[in-house]
Chain A
């Protein structure tokens, strides 16, 4: 580990921290329907959209209506993308003349983008037309991110409101989210990326002759605009297969830093939005601090084990850290930082291959996702996931102080516990059960890149990533019908099955009366509570996944120390 390496992490963290308050406060204003500096620009468009769609933005929805709107919106989006991918050969903006996608791959890709996962069983540069990228994937990069954000807002409203049955208007929230939050940052961000050298054109790929005489196709296309929302919306689906490890998606250290900032900033700022909306800023900061601690713990372990490198390689005379699968441009520090950030959020974009990380270096990204994508989490989904863990922690802690537990004045009772535990069940269920099926199924073993514990890690990582809607991959696993279909199903439920208990919980909380705080109420922004929250997350996460992880990265690490590799 080097000072420069840590400096990169601290600069990134500092830049995120600086943005938390202004962006968080801005989002609070947007979603509470207050005017912002962008109102003069976007209000007319906003009104026009409402008129065109026949939406009354003031019409409040109870949780089940909100849920129905979310699901209906996503279902239509899923079908739309599937049809688009199956017919792209007949449609314009296809200079490379790519064919239609096979049904299973189209299904996998469509679900992947609707669920904000962006798992890619294809390489964009030789599979997808510009039209599919722009009106297919980019649409979902915006809307799936917006769905996550508005659901978090609905959940916050559930906590903030008392004695009300409604959570806001899904259509209005979506419109505002896209117009005021995602679009402006994306436009500015695109220009910045173009400035650092990311292509933004409609040309066919350029063919160049390299110094040693090989012909090489340089991928072009509307890449910068895709790149921004890929990070900002924690989507992670690269325009090209190499994702942000490729020089045209991520050309310079500056673009690398900026993309990292983009993928963290909304998830981090939403904690401030939360504090603002529940009228207690300390509650928001407590979440942010808990997230930051988990982030840095993961970073220390991942960076340390990548920097320490592989003793087996050391014996061969190659000293130093583990550079396998990393871009020399970024090095160990920036690659470790990216791996932790992309899994601490549910982004899944990569600038190095996680498959080539050391065992522990690869365990951290996996564990980050297994904890439920709540360290910062996906945009929105991270916040509501975190809040559900908070509710569970409050319940246990509340018992310990001898009072029916309450969070921000809302009593946590039978129904809340029921829905929270249902929510938490989803990650282990959809991660472990399909992994188990794949691990003893010829179809599941057919496309493994490695054998032994590392092969197991590849399967486990794939389903972990799919359930967590992360989308990053241990690259070793190849696509086949089994994985295309099963991972599609896992991504689908990993996303949508969570919505049901989560929104029902928000509805239950919104309908509650607030109880007054007293000296008998423990504070939920104290260091001890933050510690307890982290403890609960780690213990629930670790206890659930430790047996599986033990057979994958952990045993691999122990074997590596003994000089055995796979």
Chain B
């Protein structure tokens, strides 16, 4: 177990040589009709290729137009292969990642704890609910929650990030993932998933695309494409008797060529590649989407709930000022602030200690942190902050207590004890709140001692991002435990659209439901166990990888970097995914106009020479016209693979502006492009005397 843990490789180039070579082979393997039939458009194309191949073979015996039939057949096969190639390339990167992750799943031994004693068992025998211990240097054998101890863990195998993270019992950073390595200390973990259902297993299945199902929108689009295919099937099939009437019977090869050119092969061939590539783009951002449906839903999001801390502001607020209540000396207030904050490991708590220690007599003399800890009376119990009490503090052994926290919570706490304290420092609290800071009140059992001013530090450039979201039609709501005044100021400064102040899990849940009832799709990020119900209720829930197992289970995406602003990128990817589908559908259908102008005059050139007036591209011969259209139809798939995999260019703008641009590029462009393309191919064919 001494080998160094390999880091999960990040973004391999889309067109990595190795991926391309594998994809090449896969695109032929995918010709198997048992798989191909799931894509009706390309299946018809393949049947056409097979039938024309049959005609070519017959021609060889009967001296028919073998060269022409062969050329058409070959290019129809290419059409199918190119489409398969697009899908295979899209799958390639995920497959490479899955291969790596599989290597991580080595057979590990685990120290299972049974009746207080450790025994070595294979990791695969661990079951949900059992506990095991891990010491520094060992791989964690299974997914679970830390129930004892704290450790730094190297999660690079999963996240690709080499900086170790802290995992500790209790709180919101308790979850550990099987396959990651403990670097220091010893922790005891309760198993939360059985072998085969672990995070790593799910991740492998997801990146590999094994569990890939068509998303709702993809299905709807497939139905549309199938419908169009049937319409063209009718149009082309009836053309055969029509041409008999006109005294110009058409060969099956020509009819098949026309059919394949008309059915939406461009989008039909690239559709699944677009979906897979979209999922892959999400993964490249280090977000693990549990389903394609979730990514698609992200594109539809109307309302984004963002936690203030960590998303809009930097996590650490700093205490900058202690305001004394009337009749309270600085010494007493500072000492109380210091004592209540010494056991508080949060950055806020530390900053209070830094601010208050020099002002308290004994704090001044304590040289180091260890000395400070000694100042806390033995037998005191620390009361940690919770979302319900919104206070933290210290219960002293003698029966006295100190509390600091949200002003209304502290006032209520004091009132409970003394029946008074309503208005003390009210003005100062409000001033702090208005300035965008967080006011904390400090009190002991007898009175309110003072107010602490915590300053929020806004993350840079957030207002730009919110403006971008607004342009996309997405409303942002900041969620904070702060009081309404503080929240309003931060909301104003950061440019967020709305806020929910003094949020509790219940109010958060109620907000989500309210938004959903008025017909909006809601996305949120969360990490705590508290967040789990809301994450499950939201249409798109992104859990932080650092969060609890409960949160990760409830969410439909997990952000491996634990970066709450990532949600914005996921929304963009979701939109880009749909846009790419729409753009290529429009392009594909618009292409048909030019193909008609190439093929129809060619078909009836003999029966009705006048029809040559429709040969606006002046294509050389009827054969070259039909062949050029078929070749263009095949090559356009290859030409569009990069677009399908990268997604169409996305700029956050209003829907009408986006629609205008895309209609121009893909609609009008889609009508014009094939006229040029088919003409060029025809010129090349003619120049080399290929027809």
Chain A residues with CB under 8 Å of chain B are 392, 395-404, 409, 412-414, 416-418, 421-422, 424-425, 428-429, 432-433, 435-437, 439-440, 453, 456, 513-516, 518-523, 526, 528-529, 531-532, 535, 539-540, 542-548, 550-551, 554-555, 558-559, 561-562, 564
Contact = CB atoms under 8 A, between A and B. Distances in A.
A543 B596 contact: yes
Interface string B548-578: 0000000000000000000000000011111
Contacts of A555: 604, 608, 610-611
Contacts of A520: 302, 472-474, 654-655
27 contacts: A396-B582, A399-B221, A399-B579, A400-B579, A400-B582, A400-B659, A400-B662, A400-B666, A409-B519, A414-B219, A417-B223, A439-B242, A440-B245, A453-B246, A515-B521, A520-B473, A523-B655, A523-B656, A528-B656, A539-B590, A543-B589, A546-B596, A547-B235, A547-B596, A550-B614, A555-B604, A558-B614
Given A513-B519, A558-B608, A532 B663 contact: yes
Contacts of A404: 217, 296, 299-300, 578
Contacts of A418: 220, 223
Given A433-B238, A520-B472, A401 B610 contact: no
A421 B302 CA distance: 29
B202 interface: no
Nearest to A562: B610
B230 A528 contact: no
A544 B579 contact: no
A413 B220 contact: yes
Given A417-B227, A548-B239, 14 more contacts: A395-B220, A397-B659, A399-B221, A399-B578, A400-B662, A402-B582, A402-B658, A425-B234, A521-B473, A526-B656, A528-B659, A531-B663, A551-B245, A564-B610
B297 to A, nearest CB: 8
B412 interface: no
Contacts of A532: 659, 663, 667
Interface in B209-225: 216-217, 219-221, 223-224
Interface string B276-315: 0000000000000000000010011010000000000000
Contacts of B592: 539, 543
Contact of B600 (A396, A421, A521, A546): A546
Interface in B163-196: none
Given A456-B246, A547-B236, A518 B579 contact: no
B545 to A, nearest CB: 27
A69 to B, nearest CB: 28
A413 B222 CA distance: 11
B156 interface: no
Contacts of A397: 582, 659, 663
B650 A402 contact: yes
B241 A401 contact: no
B103 interface: no
Interface in B240-259: 240-246, 258
A424 B227 contact: yes
A540 B589 CA distance: 9
B238 A518 contact: no
A561 B662 CA distance: 39
B663 A414 contact: no
Interface residues of B, number: 76
Contacts of A519: 470-473, 654-655
Contact of B658 (A400, A421, A432): A400
A166 to B, nearest CB: 21
Interface of B: 216-217, 219-221, 223-224, 226-228, 230-232, 234-246, 258, 262, 296, 299-300, 302, 470-475, 518-521, 574-579, 581-583, 585-586, 589-590, 592-593, 596, 600, 604, 608, 610-611, 613-614, 650, 654-656, 658-660, 662-663, 666-667
Nearest to B610: A558
B596 A402 contact: no
Contacts of B246: 453, 456, 551
B238 A398 contact: no
Contacts of B262: 543
A376 B294 CA distance: 41
Contact of B241 (A400, A414, A439, A513): A439
A402 B474 CA distance: 13
A402 B239 contact: no
Given A514-B519, A543-B235, A548-B238, A400 B227 contact: no
B150 to A, nearest CB: 43
A429 B579 contact: no
Contacts of A412: 220
A422 B217 CA distance: 18
A424 B610 CA distance: 32
A421 B224 contact: yes
A402 B574 contact: yes
A439 B244 contact: yes
Identify the 5 closest CB pairs spanning chains A and B, nearest first. Answer: A520-B473, A399-B582, A402-B575, A421-B227, A519-B473
Contacts of A425: 227, 230-231, 234
A470 B589 CA distance: 28
B244 A528 contact: no
A547 B586 CA distance: 21
Contacts of B241: 436-437, 439-440
A515 B303 CA distance: 12
Contacts of A554: 614
A404 to B, nearest CB: 5
Contacts of B581: 399
Nearest to A419: B223
Nearest to A514: B519
B671 to A, nearest CB: 9
A413 B217 CA distance: 7
B226, B243, B471, B663, most chain A CB atoms within 10 A: B663
B278 to A, nearest CB: 11
B254 to A, nearest CB: 12
A400 B234 CA distance: 28
A501 B62 CA distance: 48
Contact of B667 (A409, A416, A535, A543): A535
A528 B593 CA distance: 20
B447 to A, nearest CB: 49
